[in-house]
Chains A and B, each alone.
Chain A
């Protein structure tokens, strides 16, 4: 079964860093780009960035450039998103999403279950 399974909820203090993992099952991990999207409480979806699992190439949103790092470990079909210098407005649900290929390119056809990150002193 094709699915993305994310790591569990995190509580962090302001200024700390958080790393969220996203493990892929049921498909060839390196064949599909992976994106990260977050959603603050009661707010909409915010695209954070993208990683090409095959090459490791990345692109980040301008807003998060300098604080976000996306990596992958192809040996275990996992993608990681690390966000540093956390602030209270980074409190959100963080999702990984697989970008479809071919005709589906550009659309996120598989999503992880979401990881709640709470930033609080």
Chain B
């Protein structure tokens, strides 16, 4: 089954404790992206990757890192999480860029930073 898989689904952590949210897709998509969803703000892009070893900032990249060592995986790294990073996070992938092809979303990761 074609899918985008995120882990974990839920995470509660403390301020400053490094964490990684994994994202994997099995559709051989070139393009992957991370979004955060906050009430009243919609979905905002954090980082995206056009292909292996090619990453770039989205609209809200501060406090986040990503890597794209393999085509299928695109982890999101929070080196020193803060409470303002409490949010619902979605990974998405598409065949090419998001300019004209469907984005497939993972099931989401709800992160709480206390």
Report if A and B associate in a common complex.
no
B residues in contact (CB < 8 Å) with A:
none
